[in-house]
Amino acid sequence: MGETRQFGAEGRVTLTMTGSGVAEVVLARGDKMNALDPAMFEALIAAGHALFDMSGLRCVVLSGEGRAFCAGLDMASMAALGGGEGAITDRTHGNANHFQQVALQWRKLPVPVIAAIHGVCFGGGLQIACGADVRVVHPEARLSVMEMKWGIVPDMAGYVLWKGTVRDDVLRELTYTNREFSGAEAQVLGFATLVDADPRARAAAIAADIAARNPHAIRAAKRLFGRYLGEDERAILMAESVEQHALVGSRNQVEAVRAQMERRAPDFAD
């Protein structure tokens, strides 16, 4: 296990890089069920920024300490999060505002992100989790599109992140009513990829599997996933061909084939 870095006031988020190239990112406000206050938002943005430029990064595991993944918005600090006029509509991170980036940045990362969800995962916490490529959820976890309870709408990129995973009418019902659903139900609804009694261990195992693959192919696949829902057929077909052209015959692709034939662990270069 590598050195752990802390981000934000009182170490709201920690990041540990393992020897296999897997970064473990933990929401570390366990005494408040990792609720989102201004310091947590800043810490998550800082951790995401550090990951973008991290050498040797192969995969990320995202989890929460203590009793929950994330209880959503810390209502005591809601006024501070609102900011001044235009703060929410300002595009501070390319196509997103500051709060949307906290969830959307996991999709923007060049490597896969696996979220391990336990306890409660409400509102903004659910949107952050849905920014991950894969979500492993405890069967008894409690999830909710919580925002309507407070008279607001999901606005941390949820409508972008849920597209293609959650059926439209199901999403409408959950948004309008903010009813809770279990981790087991989350898989049926499309919010969970896998259900496991030890989501963090399962997420770590998936990340280790990904980290053992050709890192250039993994990144290429993630780039394609970032395009295939929003572009037309012609553009997607060409994107596939461009990515494959760059991979075939490359050092890592040849090594992947040799390792398989020689029944040994591959030696990939980043």
Where residue 175 sits, what CATH number does that domain have?
3.90.226.10
Q: Are residues 45 and 149 in the same domain?
A: yes
Q: Are residues 127 and 240 in the same domain?
A: no
Within a domain: residue 76? yes
pLDDT bracket for residue 268 (50, 70, 90): very high
Q: Are residues 221 and 206 in the same domain?
A: no
Q: Are residues 198 and 230 in the same domain?
A: no
Q: Are residues 180 and 197 in the same domain?
A: yes
pLDDT bracket for residue 3 (50, 70, 90): confident
Q: Are residues 41 and 75 in the same domain?
A: yes
Q: Which H or E run contains 67? A: none
- DSSP annotation string for 153-193: ---SSHHHHSTTTS-HHHHHHHHHH---EEHHHHHHHTS-S
Provide the percentage of residues in the chain whose pLDDT is more than 90.
91
Q: Are residues 147 and 58 in the same domain?
A: yes
Q: Are residues 159 and 223 in the same domain?
A: no
Q: What is the pLDDT of residues 102-158, one digit of tens each?
A: 999 999 999 999 999 999 999 999 999 999 999 999 999 999 999 999 999 999 999
Q: Bigger pLDDT: 20 or 85?
A: 20
- Distance, in Å, from the CA atom of 71 to the CA atom of 67, rounded to the nearest integer, reads 10
Q: What is the pLDDT of residues 165-220, one digit of tens each?
A: 999 999 999 999 999 999 999 999 999 999 999 999 999 999 999 999 999 999 99
Q: Are residues 106 and 224 in the same domain?
A: no
Q: What is the pTM of this model?
A: 0.95
Mean pLDDT (the chain) is: 95
Within a domain: residue 270? no
- Distance, in Å, from the CA atom of 132 to the CA atom of 160, rounded to the nearest integer, reads 12
Q: What is the mean pLDDT of residues 80-107?
A: 84
Q: Which H or E run contains 86? A: none
Within a domain: residue 100? yes
Within a domain: residue 268? no
Give the residue numbers spanning the domain of 238. 215-261
Q: Are residues 204 and 221 in the same domain?
A: no
Q: Are residues 157 and 223 in the same domain?
A: no
The number of distinct structural domains making up the chain is 2
83 has a pLDDT exceeding 70: no
76 has a pLDDT exceeding 90: no
pLDDT bracket for residue 2 (50, 70, 90): confident
Within a domain: residue 266? no
- Distance, in Å, from the CA atom of 113 to the CA atom of 28, rounded to the nearest integer, reads 18
Tokens of 191: 């919010």
Q: Are residues 68 and 185 in the same domain?
A: yes
